[in-house]
Amino acid sequence: MRTAGGTSLASAILGSLSAITGTPVRIGEDGDLPDIGYWGSATIVLFSDGEDQGGSGDAVSAAATIAQNAGVHIEAVGVGTADGTTVEIDGYQLHYGSGYGAVDRHRAGHRRHATTPHPTTEQLDDVASTIDLRLTVAKQDVPLAGGFIAVALVLLAAGALLTGVRTGRLV
C-alpha cells in the first residue's frame, strides 16, 4: 500500500482486496468483475473525507460489488464536517469534504462518522468500537493417527534396540 494525492474510493477498495487476496484485483477493461473467491472473515475499514477524486461512481460500485461477492465487509468511516471545511496545515490549505458525500452516495458499506476535520484519538476509538470485527471459527478434524503410529514405531524400535543391547538377542 502507498499514499498518493487525492482520494479514489475504488482504488482504495481494490487495493485492499489485493492485499487480502495476495494477488492484484482489477476491474476488467470491458467492466467484467473478477471472482476472487470467498473471504468472509475479511473487513475493509475505509476512511474518507467524502470526496472521490478517482473517477466515476460506477468504478466504486463495481469495486464494492467485487467485495460483496467475496463476502468482504466494508466499514466506511466519514471524516469531516456536515458542510465540509478548509483547514491550514503547515502553510498548506486542505479542503475536507462533508465526510458523508461519497461514502453515502456509493453505499460502499456500513457508514460511521467522525464529525471533525481532525478527529481525536477518542473519537476514532468510539468509531472503531462500533465496527463489527468478525472472527470466523470453523471446526476441522485433525488426523492424529499418523502421529500416534509414528510414536509407536519409534517406541517399538527403541524397545528392540534396548532388548538387543541388554540380552544380546532380539525377540
Residue of higher predicted confidence among 93 and 40:
40
Number of neighbouring beta carbons within 10 Å of residue 35: 9
Between CA 71 and CA 163 the distance in angstroms is 60
User: In degrees, to the nearest 5, what angle opens at C-alpha 8 toward C-alphas 101 and 104?
Assistant: 20
- The residue type of 98 is S
pLDDT at position 38: 92
Instruction: Give the model confidence (pLDDT) of 49-68 as tens digits.
Output: 666 666 666 888 899 899 99
Whole-angstrom CA distances from 150 to 6, 144, 161 are: 60, 10, 17
pLDDT for 77 equals 75
Q: Is the pTM of this model over 0.85?
A: no
What's the grid cell of residue 17?
482486496
Confidence of residue 1 (pLDDT cuts 50, 70, 90): low
Domain coordinates of the chain in residue numbers? 9-129, 141-171
Q: Categorize the per-residue pLDDT at 36 as very low, low, confident or very high, splitting at 50, 70 and 90.
A: very high
Q: Which residue has the higher pLDDT, 97 or 161?
A: 161
Query: What's the pLDDT at 122?
Result: 75
Share of the chain above pLDDT 90, in %: 22
Neighbours of 152 (CB within 10 A): 10
Find how far residue 31's CA is from the centre of its chain: 23
DSSP 32: P
The torsion of the CA quartet 9, 10, 16, 17, rounded to 10 degrees, works out to 150
Q: Per-residue pLDDT tens for 91-140?
A: 776 666 554 444 444 444 444 444 455 566 776 677 777 776 666 667 77
